[in-house]
């Protein structure tokens, strides 16, 4: 049949036309017209790939973490938050070295640290409630300034060898540091409110960042105190904390807006929340008892690096878990934790080798991050939007309470058991308790993120 002018010339190209408006019978479509700003791609799309290009010709889709930090402002607030969170891992070692070296008393150093932990656990939910009510920048900056002043007062009192009660007073008065990890997770929840898979990746990254800070912080603090002067660790801790919070608070474009006050009340009244906090309490006992057990069993300079392997395993597992397409149930994560936390006991009992114990701790840590990511996702799901920071801070408070209880239990076993090997009975027992609480209360079945 002869070619008809009103029909487009048949193309042999395997690619479809880029746009119907570019066909030859509409020459006006080739005229230049003012172009508006291109719409920003969503998290789950591959930017810059034309829809008509076959799959084999598409550019490789960026990974979930690369897409996560492509969001405007994400890198800036993450950098500030990480700078501010590193001192959390430095604070304990810095104050213990400073107080014990000046007053020649580890008992006093431990008591001051315990007082700070208790007062911080009491103050943190109130600070988080103010953050929910007035916004992150308006509350986090003055709360951090007050916390830094308390730390500097502690350094000054120690340097002057002031009476012991002044150390407790400075520690308690400066226990207003906000929950930095919770505020970062709240920003991700705001930016990715319509992207559940992206929120899962963000929570996994934040958990890996927690592990990294707790792994590097003590090492940096010990180096500063030994290489320079005893106050160096605490002073650098204060400087990093204030600098990081100022950078974080300056990123106003990613700050979640203050939600209108609802009638839901405290997150403790949310259905399923008390049971989930009990699971956090038992999970914290796993971490506290494992730390004390390793320090008692290894008992030497190798204890720190061996213990850091658990955090390294958790960090790597968290990053891998963030790439998963689906989030596991909390009961499944706790079951894996119960099984893996028995590996250090088996390694110590069967081989007695520190190298075998180190490998077992690396594997045991692989269950930590997935469990915490899943549990924090449930906290975000159960907490009312106008109480999100308070809900996550309550979870961290329960976790810290469990760590304190686990440390006390591990210490009793280390002192009174026939051998330090028995301290490794506590972590799998606490993990089994967390699994039992999860199973009997239905936590994770009634509400999934």
Report the pLDDT averaged over residues 157-181. Answer: 89
**pLDDT tier at 242, thresholds 50, 70, 90:** very high
Report the pLDDT averaged over residues 94-100. Answer: 82
The structure's pTM equals: 0.71
Distance between CA atoms of residues 96 and 99, nearest Å: 5
Between residues 17 and 314, the one the model is more confident about: 314
Q: Give 139-150 pLDDT, tens digit per residue.
A: 999 999 999 999
The percentage of the chain sitting over the pLDDT mark of 90, rounded to a whole number, equals 18
The percentage of the chain sitting over the pLDDT mark of 70, rounded to a whole number, equals 82
Report the pLDDT averaged over residues 188-217. Answer: 82
**pLDDT tier at 216, thresholds 50, 70, 90:** confident
Q: CA nearest 108: which of 176, 177, 154, 151?
A: 154
**pLDDT tier at 305, thresholds 50, 70, 90:** confident
Report the pLDDT averaged over residues 437-449. Answer: 69
Distance between CA atoms of residues 99 and 154, nearest Å: 9
Domains of the chain: 72-258 (1.20.1250.20), 261-449 (1.20.1250.20)
Q: Residues with Cβ < 8 Å from 142, sequence gap 6 or more?
A: none
| Residues 102, 159 contacting (CB under 8 angstroms) | yes
Cα Rg of the chain (Å, integer): 26
**pLDDT tier at 30, thresholds 50, 70, 90:** very low
Write down the pLDDT at residue 53: 44
Report the pLDDT averaged over residues 4-30. Answer: 41
Q: Give 35-69 pLDDT, tens digit per residue.
A: 444 444 444 444 444 444 444 444 566 677 888 88
What is 10-47 written as a DSSP string?
PP--SSPPS-GGGSTT-GGGGS-----PPPPPPTTS-T
* Least reliable range by pLDDT among 300-304, 349-353, 443-447: 443-447
Distances in whole angstroms, Cα of residue 233 to Cα of each of 79, 170, 211, 383: 21, 17, 20, 37
The encoded tokens of residue 164 equal 């012991």
Distance between CA atoms of residues 408 and 401, nearest Å: 11
Report the pLDDT averaged over residues 329-339. Answer: 91
Q: Give 177-186 pLDDT, tens digit per residue.
A: 888 888 888 8
Report the pLDDT averaged over residues 227-238. Answer: 88
| Residues 393, 130 contacting (CB under 8 angstroms) | no
Write down the pLDDT at residue 247: 93
The encoded tokens of residue 28 equal 């006006």
Tell whether the model's pLDDT for residue 32 goes beyond 60. no
| Residues 283, 375 contacting (CB under 8 angstroms) | yes
Distance between CA atoms of residues 220 and 274, nearest Å: 37
Distances in whole angstroms, Cα of residue 242 to Cα of each of 142, 175, 180, 249, 420: 10, 14, 12, 11, 40
Q: CA nearest 237: which of 152, 160, 128?
A: 152
| Residues 288, 405 contacting (CB under 8 angstroms) | yes
Write down the pLDDT at residue 283: 92
Distance between CA atoms of residues 99 and 164, nearest Å: 10
Write down the pLDDT at residue 261: 65
Mean pLDDT across the chain? 79
Tell whether the model's pLDDT for residue 300 goes beyond 50. yes
Distance between CA atoms of residues 385 and 389, nearest Å: 9
Q: Work out the burial of residue 63: count CB atoms within 10 Å of its CB; fewer than 13 is exposed, 13-18 middle, 19 or more buried.
A: exposed
* Least reliable range by pLDDT among 227-236, 316-325, 421-430: 316-325
């Amino acid at each position: 049949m002869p070619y008809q002018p009103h029909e487009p010339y048949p193309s042999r190209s395997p690619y479809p036309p880029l746009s119907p408006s570019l066909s030859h019978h509409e020459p006006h479509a080739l005229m230049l017209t003012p172009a508006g700003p291109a719409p920003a791609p969503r998290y789950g799309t591959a930017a810059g790939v034309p829809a008509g290009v076959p799959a084999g010709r598409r550019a490789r889709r960026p990974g979930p973490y690369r897409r996560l930090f492509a969001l405007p402002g994400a890198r800036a607030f993450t950098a500030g938050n990480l700078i501010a969170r590193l001192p959390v891992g430095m604070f304990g070692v810095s104050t213990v070295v400073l107080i014990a070296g000046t007053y020649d008393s580890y008992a006093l150093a431990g008591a001051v640290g315990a007082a700070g932990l208790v007062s911080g656990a009491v103050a943190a939910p109130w600070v988080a409630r103010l953050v929910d009510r007035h916004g992150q920048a308006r509350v986090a900056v003055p709360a951090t300034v007050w916390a830094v002043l308390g730390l500097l007062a502690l350094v000054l009192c120690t340097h002057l060898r002031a009476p012991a009660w002044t150390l407790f007073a400075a520690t308690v008065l400066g226990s207003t540091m906000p929950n930095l990890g919770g505020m970062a997770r709240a920003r991700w929840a705001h930016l990715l409110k319509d992207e559940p898979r992206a929120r899962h990746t963000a929570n996994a990254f934040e958990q890996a960042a927690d592990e990294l800070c707790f792994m590097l912080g003590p090492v940096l603090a010990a180096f500063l105190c030994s290489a320079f002067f005893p106050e160096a660790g605490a002073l650098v801790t204060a400087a990093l904390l204030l600098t990081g919070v100022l950078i974080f608070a300056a990123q106003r474009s990613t700050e979640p807006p203050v939600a209108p006050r609802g009638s839901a009340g405290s997150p403790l009244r949310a259905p399923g929340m008390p049971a989930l906090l009990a699971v956090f309490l038992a999970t914290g006992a796993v971490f506290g008892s494992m730390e004390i057990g390793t320090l008692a069993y290894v008992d030497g300079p190798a204890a720190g690096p061996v213990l850091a392997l658990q955090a390294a395993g958790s960090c790597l597992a968290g990053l891998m878990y963030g790439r998963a397409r689906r989030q596991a149930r909390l009961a499944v994560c706790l079951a894996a934790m119960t099984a893996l936390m028995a590996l250090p006991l088996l390694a110590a009992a069967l081989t007695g080798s520190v190298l075998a114990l180190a490998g077992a701790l690396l594997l045991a840590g692989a269950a930590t991050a997935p469990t915490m990511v899943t549990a924090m996702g449930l906290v975000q799901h159960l907490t009312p939007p106008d109480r999100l920071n308070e809900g996550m801070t309550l979870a961290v408070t329960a976790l810290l309470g469990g760590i304190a209880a686990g440390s006390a239990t591990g210490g009793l076993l280390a002192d009174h058991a026939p051998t330090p090997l028995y301290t490794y009975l506590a972590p799998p027992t606490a993990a089994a308790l967390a699994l039992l609480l999860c199973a009997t209360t239905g936590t994770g079945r009634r509400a999934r993120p």
